Structure 1
Amino acid sequence: MKQAKISEAVVKRLPIYLQVLNELQYHEVQTISSQDLGIKLDLNPAQIRKDLAYFGDFGRKGIGYDVTYLSEKIRQILKVDQIINVALVGAGNLGHALCNYNQYSKDNMKITAVFDIHPAKVGTKINHLIVKPMDELKATIDEQEIRIGIITVPAPEAQNVANQFIDAGVEGILNFAPTVLRVPEEVRIHHADFTKELLSLAYYLNREEVEESGSNLD
């Protein structure tokens, strides 16, 4: 693998490529060109070739990419060719939804433990998982070698949960709480903020109206 620094934008596009490749495999498509990938993804083919070139030479001139081979290579790059156990804290509606989705996912990244602070939720089941109390978090993470934590608790509780994940040794956190969390440099955190995304969508919905209003002021 090349040693050039890989931007976050490139890494975030790799799962999109993998998703399309999985669909192509389902339809028994054997090869695809960067041009056709670009059409499917509404991306510049040159951008796709550049992204993939960071990690190796996967295409063949005049033929394109072998779908199965490229899929396997991207899974290796993303490290999802191996089992990655995930813990989730917050057995509310969102936590249930994520666990239900995860049950049917074919990826090797699996939610294997669910935790909650509320006694009424502890001991209940989400699919095959029994909700555990928070005081079992560290021992479970050690036992199951869990590397990623998901936070689906209210914002005021999120930093405390993140601290417990960090103390337990997780390497990455996916935060669904609408708040910015402080974590050490060695822990990677991604924020999935529904409110922020909706607000940015609102801007684009109103952009035409704002532009027309601005033109009327001229």
Structure 2
Amino acid sequence: MSPVRPTRSAAASAQHGRVIPDATVARLPLYHRALSSWVDAGISTASSEELAAACGVSSAKLRKDLSHLGSYGTRGVGYDVRFLAYQIARELGLTQPWGVVIVGAGNLGQALVAYRGFASRGFEVVGLLDAHPDVIGQVLGSPEAPIAVGPMSALEPLVASGRAHIGVVATPAEAAQDVCDRLVSAGIRSILNFAPAVLTVPEAVEVRKVDLAVELQILAFHEQRRAEMQDPSMDPESLGEAIYA
């Protein structure tokens, strides 16, 4: 997952007397996920080395990241797992619920609304909207949290009610910008974009982009490099021909 534009987390944190780099903000969810799993497992303390290993970062980077939040570790003891998890959750804004409205009830939208991980992390899908008459009214989602697909006309009232805080674009690329514009016009200031398109938004709006095809292409790049290292005589073009044969 990568930001479409630089985030303003540093500026926002500066309002609270400290600056947290964007790279640190991007790693905080990893720390929180590991800590939360340890809380569930009954683990009370952990060293920086243990937490760093669980998150795939160096202990030095972990300690530097956490230093931006405050001093929560004890020399020779480590971190209080539950307390640190709470502090990171508070910094990420996870100590309050956030309403999510998903636009696009196709295969991706249906998969997202059925994902049970949202609720466990404090996110509630409060709306699933689509412009296609054939899907409006269909009940989707999990058995525990079914949701009926609503028309696009329901977007503005939903946002105005204060229930929706984050918008998710799960439409084809050609519809993404129009949907984004409508979300912004309705008052949404945080958008997660799954469409293969670059969205243009005002300065005050944050956009995060998830492009699975791009991630696969990056993995393909590394696979090709590994193949070339194992067989230096291999021609990249011949590898491509083998793939597309």
Q: What range is the shorter-chain TM-score in?
A: over 0.9
Q: Spell out the pairing of 1:150-165 with structure 2 (5 A cutoff).
A: 150-165=168-183
How big is the alpha-carbon RMSD for the aligned residues of Structure 1 and Structure 2? 1.8
The runs of 5 or more residues in structure 2 that have no matched partner are 1-12, 236-245
Superposed displacement of residue 8, structure 1: 2.0
| Bigger relative contact order, structure 1 or 2 (CA pairs below 8 A, ≥6 apart) | 2
Q: Is the 8 A contact 1:138 1:168 kept in 2?
A: yes
1:174-216 CA distance string (max 9 Å, x none): 0000110000110000000111101001001111233456567
For the residue of structure 2 that corresponds to 1:189, the secondary structure is: strand
Superposed displacement of residue 111, structure 1: 1.2
Superposed displacement of residue 6, structure 1: 2.3
Aligned-partner residue type, residue 84 of structure 1: W
1:51 aligns with 2:65: yes
Quickly say closer, same or farther: Cα 1:28–1:117, change in 2 above 3 A.
Answer: same
Superposed displacement of residue 113, structure 1: 0.6
Distance 1:186 1:152 in 2: 22
Which one of the candidate residues 115, 129, 153 is aligned to 1:135? 153
Distance 2:227 2:45 in 1: 44
The runs of 5 or more residues in structure 1 that have no matched partner are none
Q: Spell out the pairing of 1:10-29 with structure 2 (5 A cutoff).
A: 10-29=24-43
Using the TM superposition, name which of 176-185 and 143-152 deviates more: 143-152
Aligned-partner residue type, residue 65 of structure 1: Y
Distance 1:44 1:82 in 2: 30
Q: How many residue pairs are counted as aligned between the two chains?
A: 217
Percent identity between matched residues is 35
Q: Is the 8 A contact 1:102 1:110 kept in 2?
A: no
State the TM-score, normalizing by the size of structure 2.
0.83
Using the TM superposition, name which of 102-111 and 65-74 deviates more: 102-111
Distance 1:170 1:193 in 2: 21
1:78 aligns with 2:92: yes
Aligned-partner residue type, residue 180 of structure 1: V
Q: Spell out the pairing of 1:99-114 with structure 2 (5 A cutoff).
A: 99-102=113-116, 105-114=119-128
For the residue of structure 1 that corresponds to 2:127, the secondary structure is: strand
Distance 1:103 1:40 in 2: 20
Which one of the candidate residues 25, 48, 54 is aligned to 1:40? 54
Distance 2:207 2:231 in 1: 40
Distance 2:116 2:48 in 1: 30
Distance 1:196 1:175 in 2: 13
Aligned position for 2:165? 147
Using the TM superposition, name which of 41-50 and 186-195 deviates more: 41-50
Quickly say closer, same or farther: Cα 1:82–1:104, change in 2 above 3 A.
Answer: closer
